[in-house]
Amino acid sequence: MQLYNTFSRQLEEFTPISGKKVTLYTCGPTVYRDIHIGNFRTYLTTDILRRILKANEYEVTSVMNITDVGHFRLSKETNKVIDPVVEEANKLGITPLELSKTYTEQFVKDARKLNILEADVLPKASDHIEEMIEVIKVLLDKGYAYEADGNVYFKVEKFKDYGKLSGNTLGKMDQLLEAVRVSVETDKKDTADFALWKRADDRVMSWESPWGMGVPGWHIECSVMSMKYLGVSLDIHAGGEDLVFPHHEDEIAQSEALTGEKFVKTWVHTSFLSVEEEKMSRSKGNVFILSDLINKGYTPLAFRYLTYQTHYRAKMNFTWEALDGAATALNKIYDIAGKLPEGEGYADKYEVEFLHVLNQDMNMPKALSIVWEMLRSDFPDQNKAAALRRMDEVLGLKIFETAQKLTDIPENVLELSYERDKLRKEGRYMLADQIRHKIENMGFEVLDGKKVEGKKTETKILRKL
């Protein structure tokens, strides 16, 4: 199995540290608002990776952290460093832990809708403060960190390998350093140094430490939680491309300074998702969350299918048109699967090829084309059925489960669905949505993008479970 390793910048034959066991850590969400589809693209990559490893008979232990404290950022409005969880909770008049609990649950629900396998451990940063303090103490003892006025910083200069992941070695990091140059950190000895512990005077959410009341830095959270649950050396560490620097670079520095062991064998990063060729941004109003897709009548699995059409290391351009195309294609697969007999046997040629391309750095666009090739081939139907079932273990598109839900549709439900299609074509989504609710109340759910055979509707209707 070949994987691209960001650290070596090349494709490598993947071999776990210990036999068939694989440890996988993914940087999870910061839980103060709904997770957008760009983040979910990253989590889908991890999910696919897990499923491919399983298809190769590896035994995977997967950990994804929940950041509920310490992911500081510079507020554009106030030009102050803020913890978004605390800030958002203050706005709503609830506690930060109440807020993060709500959004963690929402994240888990959304991930489930995308058929993302839940991590074996989903640790929260706020549950691991003691361990973080212990690690920071050791880094201080070893001379890799220093205290300044209630803050503790990591001394980047002391860690000789700093910059190897991102290429931002000391001396040529000026540009990217702007990203970490935080105005209030005036007590740092060097601009490249980063916070392990930050003084927190407001006490809304802070903990006692040998350096006074404070909160951990975001980077130390990941080092501590990954090593606690998976050991000092991980097989795979995954995350979005935007985390390479400084987050992952800093994770390496802290972890290796602490243990003296190599922290991660293979780094896997998912590229960005843009919307209509534009960077997602709140000011442009093009930051979409899963419920935006669902409210327009798309199933989350159509988005899952859509992500397969772009290799995870290439920039993905999200458009509604493309999502519509993905929904149509996926519905066609459901339709075909619904007509296949209960099957046994193999479709060797296609299955071998399928696994082969999965093992070529997760080539999902190719994998999809092999699925289609097989479905269109004149291979016996029962072999196709059995093969498709196995392929879906990796694809996670719930193919047979959904196909089974296909059912005859009563005339009155169809009439409503024609009406809804008409409204959608006219862009009257709110009214269309009301009709969708009506259909749902009649015991059916709606899935868009498919012509129901012999009828005029372009909507596929599935009976609710």
Q: By the criterion CB under 5 A, which residues form the site for Zn ion?
A: 27, 222
Select 58 or 263, whichever has its Cβ closest to Zn ion: 263
Q: State the nearest-atom distance from the C-beta of 430 to Zn ion, in Å.
A: 39
Q: State the nearest-atom distance from the C-beta of 49 to Zn ion, in Å.
A: 16
Select 255 or 310, whichever has its Cβ closest to Zn ion: 255
Q: State the nearest-atom distance from the C-beta of 238 to Zn ion, in Å.
A: 10
Q: State the nearest-atom distance from the C-beta of 227 to Zn ion, in Å.
A: 12
Select 27 or 224, whichever has its Cβ closest to Zn ion: 27
Q: State the nearest-atom distance from the C-beta of 247 to Zn ion, in Å.
A: 6
Give the type of residue at 400: F
Residue 171 gets the label, from left (phi > 0), alpha (psi -120 to 50) or beta, of left
The string of DSSP letters for 391-403 reads HHHHH---HHHHH
Select 156 or 264, whichever has its Cβ closest to Zn ion: 264
Select 243 or 337, whichever has its Cβ closest to Zn ion: 243
276-304 per-residue burial string, b: 16 or more CB within 10 A, e: under 16: eeeebeeeeeebbbbeebbebbbbbbbbb
Is the bond leading into 246 cis (omega within 30 degrees of zero)? Answer: yes
Q: Is the separation of the CB atoms in 86 and 32 below 8 Å?
A: no
Q: Cα 65 from chain centroid?
A: 11
Distance of alpha carbon 298 from alpha carbon 315, whole angstroms: 22
Q: Which residues contact 392 (CB under 8 A, 6 or more apart)?
A: 398, 399, 400
Q: State the nearest-atom distance from the C-beta of 220 to Zn ion, in Å.
A: 10
Distance of alpha carbon 401 from alpha carbon 184, whole angstroms: 54
Q: Is the separation of the CB atoms in 225 and 125 below 8 Å?
A: yes
Select 192 or 222, whichever has its Cβ closest to Zn ion: 222
Select 222 or 447, whichever has its Cβ closest to Zn ion: 222
Select 95 or 233, whichever has its Cβ closest to Zn ion: 233
The string of DSSP letters for 166-217 reads TS--TTS-HHHHTTT--TT-TT-SSTT-EEEEEE-SS-TT-B--TTSSEEE-
Distance of alpha carbon 162 from alpha carbon 333, whole angstroms: 48
Q: State the nearest-atom distance from the C-beta of 107 to Zn ion, in Å.
A: 15
Select 132 or 391, whichever has its Cβ closest to Zn ion: 132
Q: State the nearest-atom distance from the C-beta of 252 to Zn ion, in Å.
A: 11
The string of DSSP letters for 225-274 reads HHHHHH-SSEEEEEEEGGGIIIIIHHHHHHHHHHHSS--EEEEEEE--EE
Distance of alpha carbon 166 from alpha carbon 159, whole angstroms: 15
Q: State the nearest-atom distance from the C-beta of 31 to Zn ion, in Å.
A: 13
